[in-house]
Structure 1
Amino acid sequence: MPEPTDQPADHPAAHPTGRSLPRTDRRTALADAAVGVLAAHGMRGLTHRAVDRAAGLPSGTTSAYYRTRRALLTALVRRLVALDQAELEEAARRAPVPRDAEDLVAGLAALTAQRLTGEGRQRSLARYACAIESVHHPELREILTPRENTAREAVRAVLTAHGVPETAADARTVTLLTCVDGLVFDRLVHGGQVSPAELRGLVAGALRTETADGAGR
């Protein structure tokens, strides 16, 4: 990694390729670097200087674009949401719409595997750190909330197609995805992958219908 210089952020040497990045691209590059710093070093390690180093840009570049830590963290969260949504949309293009329980299990298995390896794992670590931070900063929670909309719509469609009442579908969908999220969190902490058997049990519970006397079947 090159040593920081005193050159301005828009100087060609401010980018490792020797070319000056457009302002919007540099903001994105800094947000991406911030995600990596947060995943590797936690909230205490997320500093403007650390992001400069991770991005390979001169000292002071991050501060020039995001003057406060709150501004940097907000940009990071927005970038996480954008990457999550792009990932879900790409998965929807590649895979058919789930038609039954096994399709749903397969889709959830692919999603959990993606979030536990490589860049997906890095984003998961950053996402959970941001979720905890949002307890104290509600404006971050407002940004994080819509990140699973695409997944929720697909899951909800499967549940209603298999007899789950409309009145229960939203709650069942949120419960299922929250449980899956919990499994991902557990594996991040303790290692390993989420098994199809675990997902199959969660899906079966979400698809449970109610008889007239209120007993599940």
Structure 2
Amino acid sequence: MLAAHGMRGLTHRAVDRAAGLPSGTTSAYYRTRRALLTALVRRLVALDQAELEEAARRAPVPRDAEDLVAGLAALTAQRLTGEGRQRSLARYACAIESVHHPELREILTPRENTAREAVRAVLTAHGVPETAADARTVTLLTCVDGLVFDRLVHGGQVSQAELRGLVAGALRTETADGAGR
């Protein structure tokens, strides 16, 4: 509903129609629009977490930068097609809505999962100090998320070259004089 019609299209009646339920069913479970939206956000986050955990189980643990690029490419492709695209559109609509409803922001806060741990492990294995690896993991995944958002809005796919550049930046280490290598 949300992906197809935006935030204004998310109503109790619209959910009832889309789910083939008798009128009033959704409002019996979620009395207010805020309750409906909160339940939706919780479900989106649960689906995203399950997807990331499943991807981590199916794919080999990334050992190097190219493995990490390949994993990120698979993730971005999934987020831009089919059900993943619909969920991404809904997630971004909810993220914008969280500006006005801070309780949603807490639910949408990125969670630890095996995918995040894998990114962090690649960074530390390539010499990024552990404290920097935490911050760079967040930055890298936020940049990837931004690319997904851009492609949802403007079309196209995220290229491996773009992902390679982001991974290279995350792997860059600082020398004693502050220059990167």
Indicate the RMSD between aligned Cα atoms, in angstroms.
Answer: 1.0
Q: Whole-Å Cα distance in 2 between the matches of residues 111 and 50 of structure 1? A: 30
Partner SS for 1:126: helix
Write out per-residue CA displacement over residues 20-71 of structure 1, whole angstroms, 9 at most, x where no aligned residue: xxxxxxxxxxxxxxxxx00001111100000001101110000011010000
- Counterpart position of 1:32: none
Query: Kindly tell me: are residues 147 and 130 of structure 1, through their superposed partners in 2, closer, same or farther at Cα, counting changes over 3 Å?
Result: farther
State the Cα distance separating 1:99 from its structure 2 match.
0.5
Identity of aligned residues (%): 99
State the Cα distance separating 1:154 from its structure 2 match.
1.5
Q: Whole-Å Cα distance in 2 between the matches of residues 146 and 181 of structure 1? A: 11
Q: TM-score, normalised by structure 2?
A: 0.97
Q: Whole-Å Cα distance in 1 between the matches of residues 178 and 11 of structure 2? A: 54
The 8 Å contact of residues 13 and 24 in structure 2, kept in 1 or not, is answered as yes
- Give the greater-gyration-radius structure (CA): 1
Write out per-residue CA displacement over residues 139-198 of structure 1, whole angstroms, 9 at most, x where no aligned residue: 111111134644322211111111001121111111111110010001000111100000
Query: Kindly tell me: are residues 149 and 136 of structure 1, through their superposed partners in 2, closer, same or farther at Cα, counting changes over 3 Å?
Result: farther
Q: Whole-Å Cα distance in 1 between the matches of residues 161 and 77 of structure 2? A: 14
Name stretches of at least 5 consecutive residues in structure 2 with no aligned partner. Answer: none
Paired residues, what number?
A: 181
Query: Kindly tell me: are residues 123 and 147 of structure 1, through their superposed partners in 2, closer, same or farther at Cα, counting changes over 3 Å?
Result: farther
Q: Whole-Å Cα distance in 2 between the matches of residues 69 and 46 of structure 1? A: 9
State the Cα distance separating 1:105 from its structure 2 match.
0.1
Name stretches of at least 5 consecutive residues in structure 1 with no aligned partner. Answer: 1-36
- Counterpart position of 1:66: 30
Partner SS for 1:147: coil
Query: Kindly tell me: are residues 148 and 192 of structure 1, through their superposed partners in 2, closer, same or farther at Cα, counting changes over 3 Å?
Result: farther
Query: Kindly tell me: are residues 145 and 77 of structure 1, through their superposed partners in 2, closer, same or farther at Cα, counting changes over 3 Å?
Result: same
The 8 Å contact of residues 85 and 150 in structure 1, kept in 2 or not, is answered as no
Query: Kindly tell me: are residues 183 and 148 of structure 1, through their superposed partners in 2, closer, same or farther at Cα, counting changes over 3 Å?
Result: farther
Q: Whole-Å Cα distance in 2 between the matches of residues 102 and 75 of structure 1? A: 38
The 8 Å contact of residues 53 and 113 in structure 2, kept in 1 or not, is answered as no
Q: Whole-Å Cα distance in 2 between the matches of residues 42 and 151 of structure 1? A: 29
